[in-house]
Chains A and B, each alone.
Chain A
Amino acid sequence: GQQLNQSPQSMFIQEGEDVSMNCTSSSIFNTWLWYKQDPGEGPVLLIALYKAGELTSNGRLTAQFGITRKDSFLNISASIPSDVGIYFCAGQLLTGTASKLTFGTGTRLQVTL
């Protein structure tokens, strides 16, 4: 089955540093979503992107929907210890309830003090 290429696989950063991760696909998507998963929990939606070129922020998080509709990136500014977790991108081709998500393989983020 199709999976999205997400990089990097893991990151070790110091508190206060900025973080950038991205997702690429060979297929076009109409929606890009970014999720965060804390240890022992299910993924939680961070940001949803609906239009090519769209740049959306949620606090210290900023995500962009690539112009080609085949990629997206997520930036975290001024990282803090609670940013630790696994970040997943997900793409969706169709809009609406019946459409399925395709997930990336995840980026594991570790933040040291």
Chain B
Amino acid sequence: NAGVTQTPKFQVLKTGQSMTLQCAQDMNHEYMSWYRQDPGMGLRLIHYSVGAGITDQGEVPNGYNVSRSTTEDFPLRLLSAAPSQTSVYFCASKLGNEQYFGPGTRLTVT
């Protein structure tokens, strides 16, 4: 049981490039979410999904897209990266009231 896994662990992009951050969980949790963590800001919710085929926006969704075609996977897409998207990204899945986080992806946009 690997829990929540994220790839890659580190990524450097140039402004305007696109990429997908991968997230998978093997706990059969319906709820999955993406957060970004910036210094002094805590964790802010980007997008979330309450089940396969259902996604919704969180607090800071602009510049990010998500899809949820399976229960296990919840990728986060940056269509045109901007320096303001430099951050650490965490994927999480939730069962009831308890949320489990992945190890994070550190993204730098130059």
Interface residues of A (CB under 8 A from B): 1, 3-4, 6, 9, 31, 33, 35, 40-45, 48, 50, 88, 90, 92, 95-101, 103-106
Contacts and interface: CB of A to CB of B under 8 A. Distances in A.
Contacts, number: 66
Contacts of A90: 99
A35 B94 CA distance: 14
Given A45-B99, A97-B96, A3 B104 contact: no
Given A97-B30, A97-B95, A88 B100 contact: no
B97 A98 contact: no
Contact of B44 (A1, A48, A96): A1
Contacts of A42: 4, 90, 92, 101-104
Contacts of B44: 1, 103
4 closest A-B pairs by beta carbon, nearest first, are A42-B101, A1-B59, A103-B42, A103-B43
B45 interface: yes
Contacts of A33: 97-99
Interface residues of B, number: 29
B79 interface: no
B97 A95 contact: yes
B40 A105 contact: yes
Contacts of A100: 33, 45, 48, 58
Given A3-B42, A105-B42, A97 B94 contact: yes
Question: Which of A4, A35, A92, A101 has the most CB atoms of chain B within a 10 A radius of its CB?
Answer: A101
B42 A44 contact: no
B12 interface: no
A48 B50 contact: no
Q: Which of A95, A96, A97 has the most CB of B within 10 A?
A: A97
Contacts of A88: 42-43
